[in-house]
């Protein structure tokens, strides 16, 4: 069977299994089983056991449940309310008001976690209940969180940038510098869309709180101090070299427990509920990760990513045509694989064509991260969509629909960094020249 036929068969199988109501992680594993059984020589059972164990026992992955637990602690104690009390006075003057806390929160937390799923889950636990309680519509609250959650991949430290830097032999330090301005640009586009949405739908935005003087706003900002101290502890432990990202996640959990206890909002009931809530959410994420890891292995054995990448390389496209083809390629591939797997399976094959076309490997790294971010919110295997489905209980179709405007913002970001490559290269060139 041709690559196109294999791809079509697996897509049909995935939609059929999902439509039957099977859990998402099991659906991914089922499609991988079908692919391994029909098109690969390795026994599917052996491959599944080894892959699921390997994906579940990763030390790096330990950061994810810790950040999820940190989010649960913040959600169940006064810290999340305090964050809103500190941000609300400054957001009231913006069209869309507190919706911007999704973007601001994800932008800040992205500099802590390096993971899209952890960013989406942690900020969602803090913001969604508050926005819902204050009367903000679910569609724009969930959509903005799904889009802003992808900033966890772009704003350093980023796990996927490390993987790309190793695979493409590009300086990881320069990649981290290169991701800052595009990350802020994308956050600005998200907030810009929220402003436009609010201006078009003023009746859907809850009324502002009572007007405050500048002195009162500054006074209310004192409620941000605990959260800022927590962020400083996590970020500081990473950037000073005291802790790895995984160890910094543990610092975040301990810090949130200490701050909650200091504020006297932590008791045994809250501690137990936060631990159980974090466990339930992470088990959902871990099952999806295990299924995605098995599907990634199956795709590798079948050879689909490699064959598609080789085919694109043989087309002899102009630079702009190659970039469009690669963007479409990665978005389609994101329907089956997680971002890190896409980079691992394809960069070795794609890079020769990229270099031959005269594209800067450093710039291309940020381009890839942006496109992979887009794949995080495209069905059927957009990982952020699954995380939000588990958190909100809403259908994947609804979440995909309300996320589409933010997908369009990402397309705009890709166009901007393509037309103005200095957005990516300015900081590395400036800082490395000193």
DSSP assignments along 176-228, one per residue? HHHHHHHHHHHHHHHHHHHHHHHHH-GGGSPPP-----HHHHHHHGGGGHHHH
Read off the pLDDT of each residue in 408-432 and give the average, rounded to a whole number: 89
The whole-number pLDDT of residue 6 equals: 75
Which tokens go with 431?
């800082």
Task: Mean pLDDT check: name the lowest of 73-82, 140-149, 285-294, 354-363.
Answer: 73-82
pLDDT for 308 equals 67
> Per-residue pLDDT for 224 more than 80?
no
Instruction: Identify the pLDDT of residue 209.
Output: 66
CA gap 47, 52 in Å, rounded = 8
Please state, rounded to an integer, the average pLDDT across all residues of the chain.
Answer: 80
The band of 414, judged by pLDDT with boundaries at 50, 70 and 90, is very high
In this prediction, residues 78-89 reach a mean pLDDT of 71
Contact 368, 417 (CB under 8 A): no
When pLDDT is averaged across residues 309-336 and rounded to a whole number, the result is 79
Chain segment 363-389, per-residue pLDDT in tens: 999 999 999 888 878 766 577 777 788
State yes or no: pLDDT of 420 exceeds 80: yes
Tell me whether the omega of the peptide bond preceding residue 380 falls within 30 degrees of 0, making it cis. yes
pLDDT, position 409:
93
pLDDT tens figures, 181-193: 999 999 999 999 9
CA distance 99 to 352: 43
> Rounded distance, CA 250 to CA 1, Å?
48
Q: How far apart are CA 13 and CA 172, in angstroms?
A: 38
Q: What pLDDT does 337 receive? A: 66
Cα distance between residue 110 and residue 154, in whole Å: 8
Going by pLDDT thresholds of 50, 70 and 90, the confidence category of residue 162 is confident
Q: What is the pLDDT of residue 347?
A: 76
- Which pLDDT tens digit goes with each residue over 103-134? 988 887 777 666 677 778 777 877 888 888 88
Alpha-carbon distance 127 to 341, whole Å?
Answer: 30
- Asked if the model's pLDDT at residue 413 lies above 80, the reply is yes
What local confidence, expressed as pLDDT, does residue 4 receive?
64
pLDDT at residue number 175: 86
Buried b (16+ CB within 10 A) or exposed e, 355-378: eebebbbbbbbbbbbbbbbbbbbb
Nearest to 82 by CA among 271, 256, 272, 269: 256
Q: Which of 70-74, 103-107, 257-261, 398-402 has the lowest mean pLDDT?
A: 70-74
- pTM assigned to the model: 0.73
Is 139:201 a contact under the CB 8 Å cutoff?
no
The answer to whether 183 touches 428, Cβ cutoff 8 Å, is no
Ordered by start, the domain boundaries in the chain are 60-284
408, 196 in Cβ contact below 8 A? no
Is residue 148 pLDDT above 70, yes or no?
yes
Q: Which of 413, 337, 311, 404 is nearest to 371 (CA)?
A: 413
Tell me phi and psi for residue 233, to 5 degrees.
-65, -45
Cis amide leading into 157 (omega within 30):
yes
CA distance 258 to 342: 39
Mean predicted confidence (pLDDT) in 217-241: 76
Q: Is the dihedral of CA 203, 205, 210, 212 positive or negative?
A: negative
Supply the pLDDT for residue 184: 92
Which comes out higher in pLDDT, residue 337 or 421? 421
Interval 4-55: pLDDT, tens = 677 678 778 877 876 777 777 788 788 888 888 888 778 888 888 888 887 7
Count of alpha carbons within 13 angstroms of residue 45, beta-carbon side? 0
| Nearest residue to 105 via CA among 77, 86, 133, 132 | 86
How confident is the model at residue 348, as a pLDDT? Answer: 67
Q: What sign results for the dihedral spanned by CA atoms 36, 42, 45, 47? A: negative
Average pLDDT over residues 336-353: 72
């Amino acid at each position: 069977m041709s690559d196109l036929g294999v791809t079509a068969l697996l897509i049909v199988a995935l939609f059929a299994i999902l439509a039957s109501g099977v859990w998402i992680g099991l659906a991914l594993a089922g499609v991988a089983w079908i692919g391994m059984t029909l098109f690969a020589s390795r026994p599917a059972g052996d491959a599944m056991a080894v892959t699921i164990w390997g994906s579940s026992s990763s030390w790096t992955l330990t950061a994810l449940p810790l950040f999820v637990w940190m989010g649960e602690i913040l959600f169940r104690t006064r810290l999340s309310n305090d964050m809103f009390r500190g941000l609300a006075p400054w957001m009231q003057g913006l069209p869309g008001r507190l919706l911007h806390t999704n973007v601001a929160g994800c932008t800040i937390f992205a500099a802590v976690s390096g993971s899209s799923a952890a960013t989406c889950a942690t900020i969602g636990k803090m913001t969604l209940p508050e926005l819902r309680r204050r009367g903000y519509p679910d569609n724009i609250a969930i959509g903005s969180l799904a889009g802003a959650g992808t900033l966890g991949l772009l704003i350093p430290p980023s796990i996927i940038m490390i993987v790309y830097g190793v695979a493409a032999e590009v300086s990881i330090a320069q990649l981290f510098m290169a991701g800052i301005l595009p990350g802020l640009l994308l956050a600005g586009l998200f907030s810009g869309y929220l402003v436009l949405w609010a201006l078009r739908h003023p009746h859907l935005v809850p009324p502002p709180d009572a007007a405050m003087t500048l002195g009162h706003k500054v006074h209310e900002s004192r409620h941000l101090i605990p959260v800022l101290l927590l962020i400083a502890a996590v970020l500081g432990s990473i950037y000073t070299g005291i802790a790895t990202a995984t160890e910094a996640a543990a610092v975040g959990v301990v810090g949130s427990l200490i701050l909650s206890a200091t504020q006297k909002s932590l008791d045994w009931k809250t501690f137990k509920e936060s631990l159980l809530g974090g466990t339930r959410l992470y088990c959902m994420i871990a099952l999806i990760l295990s299924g995605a890891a098995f599907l990634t292995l199956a795709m590798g054995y079948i050879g689909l990513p490699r064959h598609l990448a080789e085919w694109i390389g043989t087309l002899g496209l102009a630079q702009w045509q190659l970039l469009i083809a690669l963007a479409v390629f990665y978005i389609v591939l994101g329907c089956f694989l997680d971002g890190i797997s896409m980079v691992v399976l394809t960069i070795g094959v794609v890079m020769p064509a990229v270099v031959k076309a005269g594209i800067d490997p450093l710039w291309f790294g940020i381009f890839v991260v942006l496109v992979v971010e887009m794949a995080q919110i495209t069905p059927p295997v957009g990982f952020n969509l699954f995380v939000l489905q588990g958190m909100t209980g809403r259908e994947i179709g609804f979440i995909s629909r309300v996320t589409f405007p933010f997908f369009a913002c990402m397309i705009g970001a890709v166009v901007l960094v393509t037309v103005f490559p200095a957005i990516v290269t300015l900081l590395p060139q400036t800082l490395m020249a000193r």
